[in-house]
Amino acid sequence: MRFCLLVFLAGCGVTVTEPAPIGQSKDGIISFYDGDGRGACGYDPTNDDFTAIYTGGWASSAACGTCIEVTGPKGVVVVRVVDHCPDCENDHLDLRRSSYAKIANIPDGRATVKWKTVTCPTAGNVQVQVKDGSNPFWLAIQPRNFRRPVVKVEGQKGGAWVTLSRTDYNYFLAESGLGEGPIALKLTADDGTVVEGSLPAVVAGAVVTLNAQF
């Protein structure tokens, strides 16, 4: 979790809501910060364009990994949500400094923009990362490299599908575990598209590529 770098801090009243549906346009504000892509979403450092998002848009980590097209005074950039900005007001995005510089002037500190959630320009198939500490009796997995937001994760245990619960630290959790593996997985996107795959074994920290992309 991080705090927004602002030149002027306006009133920060926020309302917890679901992330904006793909294609829905919003009027908003951008600022910038110095970061490497690590944050409340639990992702690795990256050279890509990214942003932190206000509390309502964060939606208890449901926005993690989604992509946002931002149109500013100087142009357009697509950023991926990697962090929560608790000090940001509604519809406020706090971009990576280099991402901000593509569409607005750094000396201004902040700018008025239009933004909308879009399908991510992602190559390759959906991946899942197994959280440190996972074992056959407690399993947390994090979807990665997806084009559309993942809203549901299921795993098979004893021949039955078990729905994992989303945590506010951006993992889907099976509190009683799903066994040693292999474990059949089923991920559902916001539009109902399903990607299936298998976790060969429960190896903490492992990243597994599934069979398809949304």
Contact of 115 with 70, CB cutoff 8 Å: yes
Task: Read off the DSSP letter of residue 134.
Answer: -
Q: Residue 91 CB: number of other CB atoms within 10 A?
A: 18
Q: How far apart (Å, rounded) are the C-alpha atoms in residues 201 and 86?
A: 37
Residue 7 is predicted with a pLDDT of: 33
Q: Is residue 14 within 8 Å of residue 90, measured between CB atoms?
A: yes
Residues of the chain within CATH 2.40.40.10 domain(s) are 25-118
Q: In what order do the strands lie in the sheet with 194-199?
A: 160-163, 150-157, 183-189, 194-199
Residues of the chain with CATH 2.60.40.760: 127-209
Identify the architecture of domain 127-209 in CATH: Sandwich (2.60)
**SS3 label, residue 100:** helix
Query: Is 184:210 a contact under the CB 8 Å cutoff?
Result: no
In the prediction, which pLDDT does 164 show? 98
Residue 18: what pLDDT? 56
Q: What is the pLDDT of residue 17?
A: 39
Distance CA 162, CA 102 (A): 44
Contact 122, 44 (CB under 8 A): no
pLDDT for residue 6: 36
Tokens at residue 109, please?
């500190």
- Nearest C-alpha neighbor of 16 from the set 81, 64, 67, 60: 60
Q: Which two tokens stand for residue 47?
A: 């050279």
Token pair for 152: 């549901």
Give the chain's residues under pLDDT 70.
1-19
Specify the fold of 25-118: Barwin-like endoglucanases (2.40.40)
The whole-number pLDDT of residue 135 equals: 97
